[in-house]
Structure 1
C-alpha cells in the first residue's frame, strides 16, 4: 500500500472525527441555549407569580383604606379594641410659630443619642439658631442599671449645656431651661411629661427601668449631675414630626415617618376619642399616635416571601404593615425573591453565599439600581457584585432585577398612599363626606376647599423619588379631584426640632 493512500485514508478519518466533534459541540451549544432560555423563562414566570400576588389594584387599595379607617375607630373606643394602638399622646396643643426662647431636646432611640439646643425667635425668624451633639452609648450602659444609663446621658447633657454661649441670652430669675425628650421605645404615656417603659428593644437590656416613669428617671439623673433643667414634654418621633410640620404650616394635620420604620399620627377631635378619660380639653383636639405599622387586613397583598420573612424576623406576627412599606424591609424582600429565582430558575449561574445573607441589601442599594439609566444597566451589575458577590450577570438578568425592585417598591408606596387616604377618611378630608367637629379649630380646617398637608420625615420618602411620586400618585388615584387639596411635605428632624418645639409649647413659663 502506498504512503499516499494511507495518508488519504488518515485525513478522511481525521475529518470525520472533527466533523463529529463539531456536531457534538454544536448540539451541546444548542442544548445550553435551550436550557438557559428555559431557566430564564422559569425565572420570568416565577417573577410574574410574585408580581400578581403583590399587586395593588385600586379596588384592593380602597378596601385597605376603608379597613384602616374602621380599625382607627375601634382603637379609639378602648385599648385593645384594634391592632392599631391609637395611643393618646397628651399633645392637645401644637406649635404655631409664635414660640420664643431657648429649649433643649434629647433624642434617645438607639445606640446613639442626640442633644440639641434651639433658639426660637417667633414668626419673623422661626428657628434662629440650633446646635447639637451625637453621642455613642457604651455597651455596658445599654446592659447595665437604670442609674448607669441615665447618669451617662445626663452627664453628656451637662457637658453640652456648659457650651451654651451668651448669644442664647440669660434666664430670668427663678426659671430653668426646658427640654423635650424623644424616647423611641415602647412606652405607656400618662401625661405630656410622663410615661412608663413597657420594654426595651434595639439591643438595650437595662435593669430597673421597666414599669418606671422614664421622665422621672431622667430628671433624677440630671439633678445628680447638677443640671437644672425641666423635662417639659415626652415625645414620640412621629408626633414630633407633626409638631415640626405644624410649626411651619398650619395646614399640617398628619405626621408620617417613612424611613427604616414607619408610623403615623394625626389630629383628632377629643369627642371622637371614647377612651379619653382626662376631662375637658380647651383646644378640643388631641394628637393620636396610631402605631400604624401593626395594621393588618385580609386585603393586604402579603406573599409567601413576606410570610417567610415575618417568620424569621425578631417580631414574628407583629408590624405586618411596616414590613410591607418601610425601608428596613424593601431590600430584604428583593433579596429573598432573587434567592428563590436563583435556586429554582438557576439565574446567576447558581447561588452565592452572600445572596443567602439576611438584610445585606439595603434600600439605598435598590434605589440606585432602580434609577440606572445606562444601556447595559451597569449600576445593577455593580450592585449584584458588591452585595451578593455575583461576578457576572447578563443584561436580561439585570432587567429582571429592575422589574423585581419596581414591583416591591411600587407595592410599598401604593400601600402607604392607601394608608394616608384611610387617615384622611377618618378625619373627613377624603372628600367622601362632610364632617363637623366640636372643635372650632378643626371646623375651620374642615371647611370646603381647605387644604390638608401631611408632614413626612424619613430617608425613604426624602431620597427615593420613585417611592415618593408613586405614593403621591396613588393618593391622587384614590381621591380623584379631591387630591388637589392634599399634599405631602418633607418635615425633617421631628425627633430633634419637633421635641424642642413641644417643650416650648408646654413650657411652664409660657405666657398666653
Structure 2
C-alpha cells in the first residue's frame, strides 16, 4: 500500500463524545510548511496489521476462549452458556413476538411464520429511541418505558390476533448486554456496556425486570426466552441457511456467538448435558490480550466512560468507527460462505 500526498497539511487527533457517551476520533487539519508524507508514513506504520500480528491476536483470542470455557472467570471472555441447544429448521409456524434491546434504540416485532412453504407470512416492527436520561436512570424507569411502548405496539393490533382464553402472549427478549443466564428464560445482568449506566439492575434477573414492568402496564404478555443479539442473529440466519454456525454483531458494540460441542465446555453443569451442542455467547468485546493499540485507541479508551474495559469493542465497533454515519453496506445482514 502506498500513499501520495500533494498538499502540506498536518492532522491532529481530538476525541469528541457521541450521544451514547463514547468517544470518536476527529482530525483537525491546519496549513503548515512541513511535508505531510512522513506523518502519513508513520501513521501507516503504527496502524499496520501484518499477518504475524493478526495470527498472534487470533491465537491469543482462541486461548482466552478456551480459558473461558474451562472455568467461570477464567478469562476476559465470559464464554456464556446460552441454554439454546437447538436452532430453527425452517418448519416453524405460528405468531411470534420479539423485543430487541441492544443499544440506543430498541425494536418490537411481530412475525407470522408459515413453515417451509410460506416462510414469513407477515411481519411488523417498530423502532423506538431510548431517551438519553433513561440510559443513566433507574432500572424501573427504563423497563417501564420499554413496556409502555410494547403495550402501545400490541394495542395497534385491534382484534386481528386473538389468543385462547387465559393464555398470555409469549415474547422473545433479545438483551445485548453481558448476562449470566441461569435458564432459557432468566439471566442475571453482569454489567451495562455500550454507554448505559442504569442503576439498580446489575445482579438482577432482567427477565423479571421486564415481566414486572409489563404487569405494571397490564400487558398480557410474558418472556418465554432470553437471548443475546448474537444468538438471535444466528437463529435468524439458521432459519434460512442450515450451514450457519457463527454470528457476529458490529453495531453500537460488537460480539460473537457460535455452536460449540458440549464436551468442549469443562465448566458446564452436569444437569445441562442433555444435548450434544449448545450456543456459546463469547462476549468478545472485552478481549484485550495482545491487541496492538495505537495512540488513538489509547486516547479513545482513556476518555471513555469505562477506561480499561471493552478494548476490542472500542477498536472495531461501528459506533466508535463511524458514529452516526454507518456505511449502508454495513447495515445489511449477510452470510459468509
Matches of 1:323 and 1:202 in 2, distance apart?
A: 10
> Does the aligned pair in 2 maintain the 1:103–1:117 contact within 8 Å?
yes
Is 1:59–2:77 an aligned residue pair? no
Write 1 or 2 for the structure with the bigger share of helix.
1
> Does the aligned pair in 2 maintain the 1:258–1:460 contact within 8 Å?
no
The residue number in structure 1 matching 2:299 is 308
Is 1:96–2:82 an aligned residue pair? no
> Does the aligned pair in 2 maintain the 1:259–1:460 contact within 8 Å?
no
Is 1:181–2:203 an aligned residue pair? no
Matches of 2:77 and 2:193 in 1, distance apart?
A: 19
Change over 3 Å in CA distance of 1:60–1:180 after alignment to 2: same
Cα deviation for residue 77 of structure 1 reads 0.4
1:71-470 equivalences in 2 (<5 Å): 71-138=64-131, 142=135, 145-164=138-157, 168=161, 170-201=162-193, 204=196, 206-298=198-290, 300-330=291-321, 364=326, 461-462=330-331
Cα deviation for residue 275 of structure 1 reads 0.8
> Does the aligned pair in 2 maintain the 1:330–1:363 contact within 8 Å?
no
Cα deviation for residue 143 of structure 1 reads 5.3
Matches of 2:197 and 2:296 in 1, distance apart?
A: 31
> Does the aligned pair in 2 maintain the 1:102–1:177 contact within 8 Å?
no
SS of 1:97's partner is coil
Change over 3 Å in CA distance of 1:263–1:112 after alignment to 2: closer
After superposition, the CA RMSD in angstroms is 2.9
Change over 3 Å in CA distance of 1:225–1:310 after alignment to 2: closer
Cα deviation for residue 114 of structure 1 reads 2.1
Deviations 1:121-145 (A, max 9, x none): 1111222111122334456655555
Matches of 1:96 and 1:124 in 2, distance apart?
A: 12
> Does the aligned pair in 1 maintain the 2:194–2:253 contact within 8 Å?
no
The residue number in structure 2 matching 1:488 is 336
Moved more, 139-148 or 99-108: 139-148
Cα deviation for residue 286 of structure 1 reads 1.2
Cα deviation for residue 250 of structure 1 reads 0.8
SS of 1:252's partner is coil
Matches of 1:184 and 1:260 in 2, distance apart?
A: 10
The residue number in structure 1 matching 2:20 is none
Change over 3 Å in CA distance of 1:246–1:325 after alignment to 2: same
Cα deviation for residue 268 of structure 1 reads 0.3
Deviations 1:397-429 (A, max 9, x none): xxxxxxxxxxxxxxxxxxxxxxxxxxxxxxxxx
SS of 2:336's partner is strand
Deviations 1:234-286 (A, max 9, x none): 12111111111111101000000123322111000011111111524433111
Change over 3 Å in CA distance of 1:314–1:74 after alignment to 2: same
SS of 1:156's partner is helix
Under a length normalisation based on structure 1, what TM-score does the superposition of the two structures give?
Answer: 0.55
Write 1 or 2 for the structure with the bigger share of strand.
2
In our comparison, the structure showing a higher alpha carbon Rg is 1
> Does the aligned pair in 2 maintain the 1:106–1:181 contact within 8 Å?
yes
Under a length normalisation based on structure 2, what TM-score does the superposition of the two structures give?
Answer: 0.80
Gaps of 5+ in 1: 1-31, 332-358, 368-458, 469-486, 490-512
Deviations 1:27-74 (A, max 9, x none): xxxxx9xxx89612xx21121112112222222222222222121111
Matches of 1:325 and 1:137 in 2, distance apart?
A: 23
Moved more, 96-105 or 225-234: 225-234
> Does the aligned pair in 2 maintain the 1:142–1:205 contact within 8 Å?
yes
SS of 1:116's partner is strand
> Does the aligned pair in 1 maintain the 2:87–2:235 contact within 8 Å?
yes
Deviations 1:119-177 (A, max 9, x none): 11111122211112233445665555544433333232223223225654x43455332
